[in-house]
């Protein structure tokens, strides 16, 4: 079988022999699943998908894309609302098999390969009472959420994900594997922390870890009136930095945990997470609950496993899911 391009023809058997990872073509049964990105609605058909096994594989795939002129898409966890993680007719470099995590508990740091999801990393770190702030969904890959900035449940207390990024290993367009940090290739290290894309393929990150044993948090759903929205913003702004809030003004979906009378109406669906003492957290969250008669509310103190995606069987009737 040949991988055809205007500039080159590539033998799939030769490609498989040159790599330690998995090569998936349109003839393979898992091709459709491998090319699907979340949340869906994007139908692109790459010529080949390579699930790399190492930084050496990454370098070879990057070199292949450069030599053939084929479009290269990078996939970490597969979340991409605009489809950056899949190419139409090009090469997808899938990092899903690169999931090694090394936690230095005493040093409060971790090295993590970029095929890991935020939930996998968070669950492993929480076993030691430690955390790095990621986004709000556990199934996202750490590659995308980190290079995108990373706004999540610990953002006010500890900053964005990139604020906890200490170093990275990156394969550049010429196939080199570089270690970048504040002292080694500082311009490239600066660029990957918010400078946009196309600087290379990140294969490993070193993060700072914080002592976060337990958090108090949950979902609060309020009617989305102008007064409620304005008051919510004011309360969030005045709250101590231990409280992070993520609020969505949206049309209430017909989900089982929402009363039928609010379906189709505007609501504020908010997640509130307090990283600190539970009693203090209750006092800080109380003013938000008092803004209006809430549609749904529940809070709980739980070990830090923020962001694991809910399974349908775990959605209670009263409408609040806790990871």
305 has a pLDDT exceeding 80: no
114 has a pLDDT exceeding 50: yes
Task: Quick: pLDDT tens for 196-255.
Answer: 778 999 999 999 999 998 889 889 999 999 999 999 999 999 999 999 999 999 999 998
136 has a pLDDT exceeding 90: no
Q: Does domain 101-211 have CATH number 3.30.465.10?
A: yes
pTM of this prediction?
A: 0.86
Instruction: Look up the CATH architecture of domain 214-314.
Output: 3-Layer(aba) Sandwich (3.40)
Report the CATH number of the 2-94 domain: 3.30.43.10
Distance between CA atoms of 131 and 114, rounded to whole angstroms? 17
Q: What is the mean pLDDT of the chain?
A: 88
302 has a pLDDT exceeding 50: no
313 has a pLDDT exceeding 50: no
Domain spans in the chain, listed from the N-terminal domain onward: 2-94, 101-211, 214-314
Q: Do domains 101-211 and 214-314 have the same CATH topology?
A: no
Task: Quick: pLDDT tens for 160-206.
Answer: 999 999 999 999 999 999 999 999 999 999 999 987 778 999 999 99
Question: What are φ and ψ of residue 161, in 5° steps?
Answer: -60, -40
Torsion of CA 86, 92, 96, 100, to 10 degrees: -130
Pair of tokens at residue 181 = 């940090």
The confidence band for 312, taking pLDDT boundaries of 50, 70 and 90, is very low
258 has a pLDDT exceeding 90: no
Give residue for tokens 């750490």.
Answer: 142
The confidence band for 94, taking pLDDT boundaries of 50, 70 and 90, is very high
What is the structure's pLDDT at 257? 82
Mean pLDDT of 46-75: 95
Cα four-point dihedral sign 135, 141, 145, 146: positive
Pair of tokens at residue 13 = 């058997």
What is the structure's pLDDT at 2? 57
More confident residue, 230 or 314: 230
8 has a pLDDT exceeding 60: no
Q: Which long-range contacts (CB under 8 A, 24 or more apart) does 259-264 make?
A: 259/295, 262/223, 262/295
* Cβ atoms of 87 and 65 closer than 8 Å: no
The confidence band for 323, taking pLDDT boundaries of 50, 70 and 90, is very low
Least confident window among 37-51, 66-80, 225-239, 302-316: 302-316
């Amino acid at each position: 079988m040949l991988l055809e391009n205007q500039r080159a023809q590539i033998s799939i058997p030769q490609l498989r022999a040159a790599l330690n990872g998995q090569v998936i073509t349109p003839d393979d049964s898992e091709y459709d699943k491998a090319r699907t990105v979340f949340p869906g609605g994007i139908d692109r058909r790459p010529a080949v998908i390579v699930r790399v096994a190492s930084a050496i594989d990454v370098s070879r795939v990057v070199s292949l894309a450069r030599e053939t002129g084929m479009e290269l898409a990078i996939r970490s966890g597969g979340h991409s609302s605009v489809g950056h993680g899949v190419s139409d007719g090009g090469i997808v470099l899938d990092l899903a098999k690169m999931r090694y995590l090394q936690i230095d508990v005493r040093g409060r740091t971790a090295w993590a390969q970029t095929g890991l999801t935020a939930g996998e990393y968070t669950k492993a770190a929480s076993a030691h009472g430690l955390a790095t702030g990621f986004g709000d969904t556990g199934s996202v890959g750490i590659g995308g959420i980190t290079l995108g900035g990373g706004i999540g449940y610990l953002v006010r207390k500890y900053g964005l994900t990139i604020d906890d990024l200490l170093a990275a290993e990156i394969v550049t367009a010429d196939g080199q594997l570089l270690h970048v940090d504040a002292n080694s290739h500082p311009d490239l290290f600066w660029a990957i922390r918010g400078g946009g894309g196309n600087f290379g393929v990140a294969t490993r990150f070193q993060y700072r870890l914080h002592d976060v044993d337990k958090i108090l948090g949950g979902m609060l759903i309020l009617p989305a009136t102008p007064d409620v929205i304005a008051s919510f913003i004011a309360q969030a702004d005045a709250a101590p930095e231990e409280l992070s809030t993520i609020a969505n003004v949206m049309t209430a979906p017909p989900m089982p945990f929402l009363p039928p009378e609010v379906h189709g109406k505007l609501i504020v669906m908010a997640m509130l997470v307090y990283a600190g003492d539970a009693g203090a957290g209750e006092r800080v969250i109380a003013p938000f609950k008092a803004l209006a008669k809430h549609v749904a509310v529940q809070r709980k103190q739980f070990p830090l496993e923020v962001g694991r995606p809910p399974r349908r069987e775990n959605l209670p009737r009263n409408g609040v899911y806790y990871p």
